[in-house]
Structure 1
C-alpha cells in the first residue's frame, strides 16, 4: 500500500506559511508532467502523495479550521493518493465562459463512467469516487470528477514499457475524445506503481 498522509505529516500553519510560495512552485513543476488534455475541454491531473500533501495544507491554511479540520481533510484527500496498483486522476472540464459551461455540463451526466486508459490492447475503466454523486438525475455533470484506474500487474508492466501505446479516452455521447499519453506524463506516472 502506498504511503498515506497522517497527522504526523501535517506542518503547523506558521511553518507551512513560511514555505508556501516555495512549495507552490515545486508542486507546479511536478504537476507539469502529471496532466494531459483529452479533447478541447477536459484535462486529467494525475494525483500523488505530494499533490495531496499540498492540497491538505492549502485547505488547512485557507480555511483555518485548526485541529478540528485535520481529520476531515485526511479523510477527503488520502483516497486520492495512488495505492501502488492504480493511477488516480482529477478530471476537470475547464470552460471559461459561464453560459457555455452551464449548457455543456447540462448534457454531460455520467461522463465519469465513460473514461478509460488503454494500455496496448487492455482497457482500464475508470472507477469514480463515490463520496459525492457528480452527475444528477436530470443529466447534469460536475466540472470536477475524481477517478481511479485499477491496474493488474501485467498492465503495469505494459504501461512501464515505452513501446506500448497508452491512450486516454472519454467515450460520452456528448464528448467523445481520445489522446495518446505524452511520454513525459507516462514517465512521471510510472513512479505511482509499486
Structure 2
C-alpha cells in the first residue's frame, strides 16, 4: 500500500491536475476526519491523502531531484498503514499556546492510549519511532498513529456496524462513535491491505 516514484506525477504535469486532486482530497478528508473533542481531532490516512501531501510539496518547491523525492517517499510512507493496519494522524488543537503546552504536559504517552473499539475488541495505537520525538514531560501536538489488527480482528472489523474511537490516557479520556460513512471507508481500506 506504500507509494512509489511511479505513483507520482512530475510537478509540471501535476500543476495542470492540481484542482482535480484538490477536490478529490477535500471530499476524501470530509469522510476521514473525526472531531474527537474540543481539544483533538484525527484524520485517517489513505493513499490519496498522503499522495496529495507529497505532490503538493513537489509542486510548491518544484522538486525534480529523484534522490530527494525518494527521501520524501520514505518519510511520508510512514503515514500509511502497513498490512492489517489502519493509520491516523492525531492533532492536538488548542489555539492558545500556553494552554496547549500545559495540556501537552499532562498527556505524555498519548500515542499509546488511543483505541478503536468494536465487537468487544480493543485495538490500541502505537506510533513508529515515537521514542525519538517524545520528551520526558511534554508531548508533540501531532502524532502519526497506527492501529494493528490480527487476521481475526480484521475479519471482525470488516463486519462491524459500530466503531468507537477512544482516548484512554490516565489524564484524559474521551470517546467518539465513528459515523457509518467513515466506518465503511475504513473497512474498505483495511480489506485492501
**Structure 1 length as normaliser, TM-score?**
0.89
Q: Is 1:73 matched with 2:69?
A: no
Q: Which residue of 2 aligns with 1:96?
A: 95
In the TM superposition, structure 1's runs of 4+ consecutive aligned residues that sit over 6 Å from their partners are: none
Aligned residues: 190
* Per-residue CA distance 1:49-82 (angstroms, 9 max, x = gap): 1111111111222234431420111101123223
The secondary structure found in structure 2 opposite 1:128 is: coil
Alpha carbon RMSD of aligned pairs, Å?
1.7
CA offsets 1:87-111 (integer angstroms, 9 cap, x no match)? 0111111122222222222322111
Kindly indicate whether the alpha-carbon contact (under 8 Å) linking 1:45 and 1:89 is maintained by their aligned counterparts in 2.
yes
Q: Can you list the C-alpha shifts for 1:98-145, whole angstroms capped at 9, x where unaligned?
A: 2222222232211111111112111111111216633211x1111100
1:122 alignment partner in structure 2:
121
> Quick check: 1:112–1:126 contact (8 Å CA) kept in 2?
yes
SS in 2 for 1:92: strand
Counterpart for residue 189 of structure 1: 186
Greater per-residue helix proportion: 2
| Unaligned ranges ≥5, structure 1 | none
Structure 1 residue 11, shift from structure 2 partner = 1.1
Contact between 1:117 and 1:166, CA under 8 Å: does it hold in 2?
A: yes
1:46 alignment partner in structure 2: 44
Partner residue, 2:151: 153
The alignment's TM-score, normalised by the length of structure 2, stands at 0.90
2:176 aligns to what? 179
Residues 16 and 57 in structure 1, CA contact (< 8 A), matched pair in contact too = yes
CA contact (8 A) 2:44 2:87 kept: yes
Where 1:191 maps in the other structure, the secondary structure is helix
SS at match of 1:87: strand
